[in-house]
Amino acid sequence: MEQLLGEMTLVEKLGQMTMLAASLVVTGPPGPDNPATKVRQGRVGGLLNTWGHDEIREAQRVALEETRLKIPLYFGVDVLHGHRTIYPIPLAEACAFDRDLWRRTARESADEATRDGIQMTFAPMLDVCRDPRWGRISECAGEDGYINAEYARAKVLGFQSDNDHPHRRMMGVAKHFVAYGAVMQGRDYAQVDVSERALAEIYLPPFKAAVEAGVGGIMPSFTDLAGVAMSAHRALLHDLLRVQWGFNGVIISDYNAIAELIHHGVAADLMDAAVLALRAGIDIDMMAGAYEEGLPLALERGLVHIDEIDSCVRRVLMMKEAMGLFEDPYRGLEKQSPGPDTLPHHRASARDAARRSLVLIKNDSDLLPLPRSTKRIAAIGPLADKQSELMGPWCMAGDEREAIGFLQGLREVFAQSDISHVQGAVVDGPSDAQMIAAAVTTTQASDVVILCLGEDRQHCGEAASRTKPEPPECQLELARAIVATGTPLVLVLATSRPWIIPQWLIDGSQSILLAMFGGTEAGRATADILIGDYNPSARLSISWPVNTGQIPVFYNMRNTGRPHDPNNGFSTNFLDAPINANWLFGDGLSYSRYELGDLRVDVATMDETSTIHLAIDVVNAGKQAGEATVFLFIHDPVAQVTRPLIEIKDFVKTMLNAGQSKTLRFTLNADQLRYPGLDLQPRLDDGRIDVIVGTSARAGDQKRVSIEMRRKMRV
């Protein structure tokens, strides 16, 4: 390594620190240079946005045969929720509350992507978000920091470690460091200004978890944070991430982000921008050309030192070595991806993933599951026969021709039923009275209507913020007409974000399924639930607000000095809307009912060295086998700073036959009880802690015990 470094010219070094985009897909503005020419000149270390046998082989051949030092390229793509087989979008998959599932789909994605020549994914995306206006909310694991941290760990292990075969492992790049999910107004790329406490409690823990799990890369956010542009944030990138957390992987800028320091108004030109980014700790410049253009001059002027550049190059070369590229530059590449042996297996897995991610939120009079013998089913709505949308954003190699929409899923699974389809409305645009009339006629002639509303996938993901995260008027008009028929109605919502659903539509729907974007097998998975072949087990990873003015609304709010009290006009409240979300984090139904026994704890007092053991019986009081999701929360009633009324610390899923009961066990130790004190350092107090176990975040579904913390050492 050192020998290679010693042989490199400055241009070659800066080349290793440069990542350019090919154009198989476009994920940002075009750069000025042709990447192929740059590769030939030895001025590129890795490419993004390309994959596939012929493309990768050719690019790598040029690097190996036509450049002076023959250093292999690496290839990175946003493999966010699947490569060719598309799994549910992260916000939906998070609703499965299933660490094994999160790992499995990451491992399978890596398996497919590495066959296509990809060694790096710009994932997991860990930007905790409470704002459905932000299009990128679809990419994160929801509103809670702990859940995003658990998701981070699972994804990193799944991508990087779970496959026994080294060629099937893919390096993760956790992004976007940090608090991108708090962009003001939910407007993409906008300013971020959150407190240091919010960073410590909510936004940093997922990244800490990714680092602890050994993530290979970190990508800083495009945004600024309290006035400091993240691509120049030395205190967070260098002092915290590198020094305090001991992260020794690569830091990769976001697309053109170093050059954007000029727009942020903290750099006068590319040289300035390059100096700031290098000083902050960014090793790889993605698509800005800032390092290549700016660092030679900065070096000449003594603004940076060659040792700083060498450290970055060393990290890039070490990363390539860890990827096995020096040993075999074509590692893992196969002619056909994902290969006939893996595809059916992954599709079955995607169907399972989607079933586990879909949240049943309302089911009046047990309308669902529908009897297998249902005669006439109307599949209505703009999303009913639109499998392409169900793949969601960032489904790069996903082929929409392979995806299964709701209509096809219904036709396959309800083989004995007569299924009619009328679109009734476009996804977004003017309403059409004739389309609505046809939908009404079909609905009236049916025993049940499945009304599939939702989003266009172009309207979500990056650069897709909306001030109105709600069904467009044309869909509402259709829905009004369908509700008015009085036909039993199952509302299926295929969205990338929480939507604001009017009360009349909630009331007019007997059952509501929050299908979100379920990926390649979304249609079959949804039909499996409608017919009862799968008993829904998912719970919301994100709250669904009543209206836009309520945003942000989330489950772990603080009590305030004037807690909400409907009988007290001087308590925290809205005059024109309820205080709670329509559907809260943790909400979700199943076809069974899970009942909890008393919560038992082995000791009533603990100290900083002890672990307490909790046990609770859960019984499936329903008639169908199913998987119960049970959460462990705590509440710290008296602390140095205000604490949320409830905060999640763990969760488990357990399969129960009808009538079966099981004892679930949790542990809690002092580390889980610490919180950032006044000085933001982890703090543990003496006194009472309430431990809460529940099937949701709602008081009615919970059991509580109190324990006493008595520290041995008092400081």
Nearer to ligand NOJ, 259 or 489 (CB): 259
Cα–Cα distance list, 13 to 17, 20, 37, 209, 593 (Å): 7, 15, 17, 31, 62
24, 27, 228, 308: which one binds ligand NOJ (CB under 6 A) = 27
CB of 165 to ligand NOJ, least distance (A): 26
| Sign (positive or negative) of CA dihedral 473, 478, 480, 483 | negative
188 is an interface residue for ligand NOJ by CB under 6 A: no
Nearer to ligand NOJ, 78 or 143 (CB): 78
93, 224, 254, 455: which one binds ligand NOJ (CB under 6 A) = 254
- Catalytic annotation, residues: 254
> How many residues in the shown chain lie near ligand NOJ by CB under 6 A?
9
Q: What is the 3-state secondary structure (H, E, C) of 502-555?
A: CHHHHHHCCEEEECCCCCCCHHHHHHHHHHCCCCCCCCCCCCECCCHHHCCCCC
Q: Rounded distance, CA 487 to CA 307, Å?
A: 72
Amino acid present at 229:
A
State which of positions 446-485 bind ligand NOJ (CB under 6 A): 462
CB of 462 to ligand NOJ, least distance (A): 6
Cα–Cα distance list, 436 to 160, 431, 482 (Å): 50, 8, 8
CB of 498 to ligand NOJ, least distance (A): 21
CB of 20 to ligand NOJ, least distance (A): 11
175 is an interface residue for ligand NOJ by CB under 6 A: yes
Nearer to ligand NOJ, 127 or 352 (CB): 127
Q: What angle do CA 343, 530, 540 make, to 5 degrees?
A: 80
CB of 91 to ligand NOJ, least distance (A): 15
CB of 47 to ligand NOJ, least distance (A): 11
Nearer to ligand NOJ, 254 or 272 (CB): 254
31 is an interface residue for ligand NOJ by CB under 6 A: no
Nearer to ligand NOJ, 136 or 331 (CB): 136
* Joined tokens for residue 11: 């241009």
255, 544, 555, 631: which one binds ligand NOJ (CB under 6 A) = 255
Q: Residue 45 has what DSSP assignment?
A: S
Q: Rounded distance, CA 391 to CA 522, Å?
A: 8
CB of 222 to ligand NOJ, least distance (A): 6
Nearer to ligand NOJ, 355 or 459 (CB): 459
State which of positions 111-140 bind ligand NOJ (CB under 6 A): 122
Nearer to ligand NOJ, 87 or 122 (CB): 122
Which bin fits 252, alpha (ψ -120 to 50), beta or left (φ > 0)?
beta
**Three-state secondary-structure class, residue 407:** helix
4, 5, 28, 662: which one binds ligand NOJ (CB under 6 A) = 28
User: Which candidate, 431, 430, 435, 426, places its Cα nearest to that of 453?
Assistant: 426
Q: b or e along 531-569 (b: 16 or more beta carbons within 10 Å of the residue's beta carbon)? A: beebbbbbbbbbbbbbbbebbbbbbbeeeeeeeeeeeee
Nearer to ligand NOJ, 175 or 356 (CB): 175
Q: Rounded distance, CA 519 to CA 58, Å?
A: 31
Q: Residue 239 has what DSSP assignment?
A: I
| Chain-centroid distance, C-alpha 50 | 23
CB of 535 to ligand NOJ, least distance (A): 35
12, 22, 78, 596: which one binds ligand NOJ (CB under 6 A) = 78
Beta strands in 215-308 (DSSP E): 217-220, 224-225, 228-229, 250-251, 285-286
Contact positions toward ligand NOJ, by CB under 6 A?
A: 27-28, 48, 78, 122, 175, 254-255, 462
